[in-house]
Structure 1
Amino acid sequence: MFAFIARQPILDREKEVFAYELLFRDGKGGTYPDPEQEKTRAINQRFHPLGLDDISGDKTAFINFSTETLISRFPTTLNPDTVVVELAENPAGQIGLLQACEHIKQLGFRLAIDDPMMLSGQHEIFPLIDIIKVDVSKGRFEQIEKQIPRFLDSNIQLVAEQVDTPEDFNICRGLGFDFFQGYFFAQPEAGIHRHLPASKMNLVDLMGESSYSNFDLPRINQIIERDAALSYLLLKFINNPLVNKRYKITSLKHALTYMGEVEIKKFIAVLSLANLGDDKPLELIHMSLVRAKFFDLLSQERRLNTDPPIGFLVGLFSLLDALLDQDMPNILKQLPLVDSVNDALLGKSAEFNHYLTLARAFEGALWLNVIKQSRELAIDQKQLHSLYNQAIMWGNGVRNVISTYFPKPVLG
């Protein structure tokens, strides 16, 4: 029943993912859908049911519930250790809700509430609340600052919602918020303008090689052999069971024999990007991975040429501006990518513009945009959801591999 779903990351103060909020297309306002709905039964019949763990990986899941569901049809299959129950509506005057929340708390679940005006202390349900979510998009920081102490004194954790810029993140972090929801981490930081360091030029060369149709094995070997750490990581990465379950790979030539040029090009590109962004939040790399797989699957669905894997590369590199804190035209001047990849990253490809719009629609739960892009690309909506689910699950697996090799950045 979790096929028609979007997820949005909630990050902690160190920009590591604490949880994902799950938004359901078939539930009103993104809420958990009524299990008796005919649409839900149809999804179950058509798709292999995805569990919450498939979508949220090993992270906590925030799920919105309508008052009616909380009172009369709360699902008994959810795990209180991994799910935060979020109230979708203002609890004031909701008959039976207080008792339902008391029962849900007794089951071990944490309770969260959206409270943009921070009025929860006036509700009788306040003592049951563990997490308050506050919309900061209107910039009411002075008002918010006055309210925060009473929540912190009550050991309530605070989530800042609609955090859209790095500047907003820094303000909210300074105010004492515990968690942050929004795509601030996927925006370039103003005034940074980092240039690619000389130590990273091996990675730049590999990114270029991954976009060429011919596979110059001697040249790629030469690039990798210049960097012992990179050579070690490549072999460790390719031999991880989440990436390659079938063969023990001992060299790049060996990998090429068993895996083929296209897959090796993808792995080289992923490894290069992960190394290039090793001082950025891992969720930024994760978003790039999901987009890469999604664009790759869309390219296959549209029967485009996938050698070199242009769709994969465009998705993977679509957040380079945030990764390097530069605008995309400046970045592409420094990278030896083929014209088709460059044009797509600069918004000059109608095909890939559709892909990017679609990816952003899934990231933001903008379902009307999914419907529109389904028509534009002549791909059934259900199939689009299925492809995106595949991309999420692939991204979860590769993220787990990458996270074992790259240290987490530490913020001051």
Structure 2
Amino acid sequence: MFAFIARQPILTGKKEVFAYELLFRNGVNDCFPESLDDDASPSSKEILKLNLEDISCQKQAFINFDKTTLLNGLPEILDPNNIVVEVDHLGNVDDELVNSCKRAKDQGFKIALDHLDDINQSKLLLPFVDIVKLDVMRHPVAHNGDNISMWKDNGVKLIAEHVDTPASFEQCVDLGFDYFQGYFFSRPQAYNKKPLPSSKLSLTSLISECNKSSFDVSAVNEIIEKDAGLSYMLLRFINNPLVNKRHKITSLKHALTYMGEVEVKKFIALLALANLADDKPLELLHLSLVRAKFCDLLAREKCVGDNPPLGFLTGLFSLLDALLDQRMHDAVSQLPIVEEVKHALCGGQNQLAIYLALAKAFESATWLKVKRASDMLMMEQAHCHSLFNEAIVWGNSVRQTLSSHFPVTKTRRTS
């Protein structure tokens, strides 16, 4: 069981994940809930048995705390080695708040300031601050080089918030920010209509097989056997403990016998996407994995599209525009994807599109949209959230399978 939590990545200048910010539905302004014993907020009790590392993928977790929680003392269940205490909505900085931050710092927590209303007031906390978050969409201080220099000269790291376009990311890099929060990495760098390179054409054959109701094992096996890298990655995927805990699988035919056609199709599609994404940030693929699993779980609940696995394919290819730097219509036109999935990816209205909208609502912690999409599917919000957390854990595991063997990206080489 998990509490109602959303997460948003914080990336480095090389577009690698530095940390995740965790947002709590039952807390005011997405902060950590003030009370874990409040009967009106039963899901907050689940935090007591929540392993936050499952949500944060072994990265540091930024958690918002309001002034009341800080004054009352941070819950003992939180590990200072993994948690960054985010002080939100500062308002008037008084002695009580300063002492609370000092106490948290003495406990070993790192301190991050967010939503700075008065930079002079916030200077009172400077001795305890490790990180400052600046909203580049609305806060003028983010564009003031002198103020940025003031923080950096005092050894404070800077996070640019709401960095939602590649252009904004480049601007923030030039301004001297250390980390970046927003979905700039999931946007196309620049639209182009270039066809897939010849080296990627074999991947379209794999995707085609995953979109058929039948499965030509010999054809897929022939494609994979010609590429040692594909063979190696496929076996790593299929021998992932979350997928297969009992038997060592040594070939595609063995996998098909043991796992069944539908599950193998999912991993073939995943394998194809991973190779399409070999020049993109790993977090972009990670987000695709979580969406794929979540949409797949929803489809199972609603008994929709098992073979081919329509929900899984919808989530998996939902960031195809960013992976190929093309408009979605142009991207899907190059790949043999089922029409029902194409319709959802290109903004059409069907049940698969609702699955995708719900996934995006969870990612952005837009709780009203979560409610609306859950209602449209006639599913309990709590159950939908448990499915999303299950998808996060699954995505983390598959990501770890990928990471050490993922190709070095162009982003990493040039940053």
- What is the TM-score of this pair, normalised by structure 2? 0.94
Quick one: distance in 2 between partners of 1:333 and 1:59?
37
- What is the TM-score of this pair, normalised by structure 1? 0.95
Counterpart amino acid of 2:105? Answer: K
**Deviation at 1:40?**
4.0
Q: Report if aligned partners of 1:281, 1:408 keep a CA contact under 8 Å in 2.
A: no
Q: Is 1:24 equivalent to 2:24 in the alignment?
A: yes
| 1:404 matched residue in structure 2 | 404
**Deviation at 1:240?**
3.3
| 2:327 matched residue in structure 1 | 327
**Deviation at 1:378?**
0.2
| 1:367 matched residue in structure 2 | 367
**Deviation at 1:408?**
4.0
**Deviation at 1:92?**
2.4
Query: CA offsets per residue over residues 196-215 of structure 1, 9 Å max, x none?
Result: 11101111211121111101
Q: Is 1:189 equivalent to 2:189 in the alignment?
A: yes
Q: Report if aligned partners of 2:3, 2:43 keep a CA contact under 8 Å in 1.
A: no
Identity %: 51
Counterpart amino acid of 1:61? Answer: A
What are the residue-to-residue correspondences of 1:308-319 with 2, within 5 Å? 308-319=308-319
Quick one: distance in 1 between partners of 2:236 and 2:25?
39
Q: Is 1:61 equivalent to 2:90 in the alignment?
A: no
Query: CA offsets per residue over residues 252-280 of structure 1, 9 Å max, x none?
Result: 11110001001100011111111110111
29-38 or 310-319, which deviates more: 29-38
**Deviation at 1:127?**
1.6
The number of residue pairs the alignment matches comes to 411
After superposition, the Cα gap between the structure-2 partners of 1:328 and 1:42, relative to the gap in structure 1 and judged at 3 Å, is closer
Q: Which runs of 5+ in 1 are unaligned?
A: none
Quick one: distance in 1 between partners of 2:122 and 2:365?
31
Quick one: distance in 1 between partners of 2:142 and 2:83?
32
| 2:300 matched residue in structure 1 | 300
| 2:85 matched residue in structure 1 | 85
Q: Report if aligned partners of 2:10, 2:19 keep a CA contact under 8 Å in 1.
A: yes
Q: Report if aligned partners of 1:224, 1:231 keep a CA contact under 8 Å in 2.
A: yes
After superposition, the Cα gap between the structure-2 partners of 1:48 and 1:336, relative to the gap in structure 1 and judged at 3 Å, is farther
Query: CA offsets per residue over residues 207-250 of structure 1, 9 Å max, x none?
Result: 12111110111111121122222122212332233442221111
| 2:36 matched residue in structure 1 | 35
What are the residue-to-residue correspondences of 1:19-168 with 2, within 5 Å? 19-33=19-33, 34-41=35-42, 44=45, 49-90=49-90, 92-116=92-116, 119=119, 123-138=123-138, 140=140, 143-168=143-168
Quick one: distance in 1 between partners of 2:108 and 2:311?
44
What are the residue-to-residue correspondences of 1:336-355 with 2, within 5 Å? 336-355=336-355
Counterpart amino acid of 1:37? Answer: D
SS in 1 for 2:124: coil
Quick one: distance in 2 between partners of 1:302 and 1:261?
20
What are the residue-to-residue correspondences of 1:185-224 with 2, within 5 Å? 185-224=185-224
313-322 or 329-338, which deviates more: 329-338
Q: Is 1:390 equivalent to 2:390 in the alignment?
A: yes
Quick one: distance in 2 between partners of 1:338 and 1:381?
29
Quick one: distance in 2 between partners of 1:197 and 1:243?
32
**Deviation at 1:118?**
7.3
Quick one: distance in 1 between partners of 2:88 and 2:395?
29
After superposition, the Cα gap between the structure-2 partners of 1:142 and 1:125, relative to the gap in structure 1 and judged at 3 Å, is closer
Q: Report if aligned partners of 2:64, 2:88 keep a CA contact under 8 Å in 1.
A: yes
After superposition, the Cα gap between the structure-2 partners of 1:42 and 1:363, relative to the gap in structure 1 and judged at 3 Å, is closer
Q: Report if aligned partners of 2:289, 2:316 keep a CA contact under 8 Å in 1.
A: yes
SS in 1 for 2:144: helix
After superposition, the Cα gap between the structure-2 partners of 1:172 and 1:255, relative to the gap in structure 1 and judged at 3 Å, is same
What are the residue-to-residue correspondences of 1:284-295 with 2, within 5 Å? 284-295=284-295
| 1:13 matched residue in structure 2 | 13
Counterpart amino acid of 2:218? Answer: P
> Runs of at least 4 residues of structure 1 off by over 6 A?
none
| 1:380 matched residue in structure 2 | 380
Quick one: distance in 2 between partners of 1:104 and 1:408?
38
Counterpart amino acid of 1:201? Answer: L
**Deviation at 1:150?**
1.2
Q: Report if aligned partners of 1:165, 1:187 keep a CA contact under 8 Å in 2.
A: yes
Query: CA offsets per residue over residues 120-157 of structure 1, 9 Å max, x none?
Result: 57531122111000000148588422321111110000
After superposition, the Cα gap between the structure-2 partners of 1:346 and 1:5, relative to the gap in structure 1 and judged at 3 Å, is same
257-266 or 301-310, which deviates more: 301-310
**Deviation at 1:93?**
3.8
Counterpart amino acid of 1:38? Answer: D
Q: RMSD across aligned C-alpha pairs, in angstroms?
A: 2.0
Quick one: distance in 1 between partners of 2:218 and 2:179?
47
Quick one: distance in 1 between partners of 2:366 and 2:283?
20
SS in 1 for 2:212: coil
Q: Is 1:171 equivalent to 2:171 in the alignment?
A: yes
Counterpart amino acid of 1:407? Answer: P
Counterpart amino acid of 1:377? Answer: L
Query: CA offsets per residue over residues 89-118 of structure 1, 9 Å max, x none?
Result: 215244511111111101110000114567
SS in 2 for 1:76: coil
